């Protein structure tokens, strides 16, 4: 079956969203919208990020599933309900400051500093849409801003010694995981019991203290001459990118618009997804959300 034929079978992808729901954490009624409507909102958020980045000469590029969608579908993966971009650390920090004041009123820059209830510590920055709701698995009782969003990931240069890189990523994984919610989804075993014990300790440590410890290692990245980047100290994922794979950036088509993408997207996608032009089996086409709606 061709990709076109397989995609035509996805028309019911929004079925699980078709209901009205009262969200206790925002005390308002949200009416379910289609996934395509939600993707349109995400696209508009990305356009605003692009506009601000061009205004201030900041670097960003689409990544992960968003990059895969651009290459394979010229837009969103049909069942994808999020959007990912990455920024080198300096650009990320500048964007965080200017976006507070210059994003349109319908958008909200979400970090632990702007939203005191935000506790997705492994994803340090999102841009949310104020007049919508997107609930992911496990978020039903959360009280932070939960509008439709895009994720922005910082990129740090890999430290120039294995020891420094090991310490940096080891601290990230340990401290950020300690701040995550306790869960026994993987069963009760030595690993989950140890993790839960550390997470109990983590509840006593403010995230700002964790961030201060992690940021203290950024000096190694700033001084490094390594040609490689990785998702930064704020994140726990091991993804690494060579400078030659990313730069110079290239404009890529996405939903009829042009956004910046990495130069050697083929190498990046092959390393992450293997045969990325083939659609996954239907049972492997996962969505993050359990409800998407408009207020």
Give 99-151 as a DSSP string.
Answer: HHHHS-TTEEEESTTT-TT---TTS--EEEETTEEEEETT-TT--S---SEEE
The CATH number of 3-158+230-294 is which of 3.40.50, 1.10.3470, 2.40.50, 3.30.460? 3.30.460
Q: What is the pLDDT of residue 255?
A: 98
Per residue in 141-187, pLDDT tens?
A: 899 999 999 999 999 999 999 999 999 999 999 999 888 887 777 77
Sort strands 289-294 and 28-32 into parallel, antiparallel or unpaired: antiparallel
Q: What is the pLDDT of residue 289?
A: 94
Q: What is the pLDDT of residue 11?
A: 47
Q: Give the count of beta carbons closer than 10 Å to the beta carbon of residue 69.
A: 21
Q: What is the pLDDT of residue 182?
A: 76
Q: What is the pLDDT of residue 200?
A: 86
Sign of CA dihedral 90, 95, 101, 102: positive
The vertex-86 CA angle with 40 and 252, nearest 5°, equals: 60
Q: Give the count of beta carbons closer than 10 Å to the beta carbon of residue 82.
A: 22
Q: What is the pLDDT of residue 138?
A: 85
Per residue in 177-224, pLDDT tens?
A: 888 887 777 778 887 788 788 888 888 899 999 999 999 999 999 999
pTM: 0.87
φ/ψ bin of 27: left (φ > 0), alpha (ψ from -120 to 50), beta (otherwise)? left
Residues of the chain with pLDDT below 70 are 1-28
């Amino acid at each position: 079956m061709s990709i076109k034929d397989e995609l035509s079978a996805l028309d019911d992808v929004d079925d699980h969203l078709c209901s009205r729901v009262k969200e206790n954490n925002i005390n308002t009624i949200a009416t379910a919208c289609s996934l395509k409507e939600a993707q349109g909102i995400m696209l508009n958020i990305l356009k605003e990020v692009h506009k601000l980045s061009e205004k201030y000469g900041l670097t960003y590029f689409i990544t992960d599933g968003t990059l895969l969608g651009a290459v394979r579908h010229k837009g969103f993966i049909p069942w994808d309900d999020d959007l990912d971009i990455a920024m080198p650390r300096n650009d990320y920090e500048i964007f965080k400051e200017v976006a507070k004041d210059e994003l349109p009123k319908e958008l909200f820059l979400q970090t632990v500093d702007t939203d005191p209830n935000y506790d997705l510590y492994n994803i340090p920055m999102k841009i949310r849409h104020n007049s919508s709701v997107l609930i992911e698995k496990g978020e039903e009782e959360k009280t932070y801003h939960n509008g439709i969003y895009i994720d922005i990931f910082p990129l740090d240069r890999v430290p120039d010694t294995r020891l420094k890189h090991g310490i940096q990523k080891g601290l990230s994984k340990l401290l950020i995981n300690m701040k995550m919610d306790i869960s026994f989804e993987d069963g009760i075993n030595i690993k989950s019991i140890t993790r839960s014990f550390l997470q109990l300790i983590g509840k006593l440590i403010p995230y700002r203290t964790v961030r201060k410890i992690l940021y203290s290692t950024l000096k190694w990245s700033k001084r490094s001459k390594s040609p490689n980047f990785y998702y930064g100290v704020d994140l726990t994922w091991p993804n690494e990118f060579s400078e030659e794979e990313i730069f110079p950036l290239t404009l890529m088509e996405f939903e009829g618009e042009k956004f910046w993408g990495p130069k050697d997207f083929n190498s990046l996608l092959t390393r992450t997804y293997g045969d990325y032009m083939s659609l996954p089996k239907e049972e492997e086409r996962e969505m993050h959300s359990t409800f998407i709606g408009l207020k």
